Amino acid sequence: MKRKIGFIIIVLLINLIFLFLYYENAKKENQIPEKENIYSINVNDAGAIGDGKADDTKIIQKAINQVSPGGNIILDSGSTYRITDTIIIEKDISIISNGKKKASFLMDNNEGNKPILNFNGEVKHNIKDITSTFKQRDISIPMFKKNGIRAGDLILIESDTPWYFDPRTGTENLHKGELHRISGVTNTKILLEEALWDSYLSKYEDINVKIIRPIQVNIKNINLLRSESNNRTIGLRIKYCSNCVIDNTSVKNSSALGIHIVSSYRTSIEDSTIEGANDKNSGYGIQSYGSSFSLIRDNVIFGSRRGVDISGLYPDHYSIVEFNSVFGGGKNKIGQAYLIEDTQYGIGTHSTANFTTFRGNILGNLNYGINIRSANTSIEQNHFMGYIKGSCIILSNGRNVIIKENRTTSGKNLPNFADMTQLPTNIKEFKASTFLAIKRSFEIDSGFIKITNNSVDISSELIKILDSPDSKLSSFTQLNIEGNRIKLLDNKNGKSNFFLINSDFPLFNNSTTIKGNKVTDMMGNIQDFRYKNFKP
Least confident of 14-18, 21-25, 132-136, 490-494: 21-25
Give the H/E segment covering residue 509: strand 499-509
Give the H/E segment covering residue 415: helix 414-420
CATH class of the region 122-213: mainly beta
**Sign for the pseudo-dihedral over CA of 341, 342, 346, 351:** positive
| pLDDT surpasses 70 at 34 | no
Round to whole Å and give the CA distance between 129 and 139: 22
360: which residues sit within 8 A by CB, 6+ positions away? 322, 323, 380, 381, 382, 383
Task: Give the model's pLDDT for residue 338.
Answer: 56
Q: Is 49 exposed, middle or buried (0-12, 13-18, 19+ CB in 10 A)?
A: middle
Q: In this structure, are residues 312 and 352 in contact, taking their beta carbons and an 8 Å threshold? A: yes
Identify the CATH number of the domain defined by range 258-534: 2.160.20.10
pLDDT digits (tens, 9 = 90+) for 210-233: 999 999 999 999 999 998 887 899
Q: In this structure, are residues 278 and 300 in contact, taking their beta carbons and an 8 Å threshold? A: no
Instruction: Name the nearest CA neighbour of 221 among 244, 245, 248.
Output: 248
- Domain spans in the chain, listed from the N-terminal domain onward: 1-31, 122-213, 258-534
Round to whole Å and give the CA distance between 161 and 85: 38
Instruction: Name the nearest CA neighbour of 272 among 341, 220, 208, 343.
Output: 220
pTM, rounded to two decimals: 0.90
pLDDT digits (tens, 9 = 90+) for 429-472: 778 889 999 987 777 777 899 999 999 998 889 999 987 666 66
| Distances, alpha carbon 386 to alpha carbons 307, 325, 464, in Å | 16, 12, 20
Round to whole Å and give the CA distance between 314 and 431: 36
200: which residues sit within 8 A by CB, 6+ positions away? 130, 133, 134, 157, 159, 176, 207
Average pLDDT in the chain: 86
DSSP structure string for 290-332: S-BS-EEES-EEES-SEEEEEE-SS-EES-EEES-EEE--SB-
Q: Which amino acid is at 364?
A: G
Q: How confident is the model at residue 528 (pLDDT cuts 50, 70, 90)?
A: confident
| pLDDT surpasses 70 at 36 | no
| pLDDT surpasses 50 at 295 | yes
pLDDT digits (tens, 9 = 90+) for 155-202: 999 999 988 876 655 546 789 999 999 999 999 999 999 999 999 999
62: left (phi over 0), alpha (psi -120 to 50) or beta: alpha
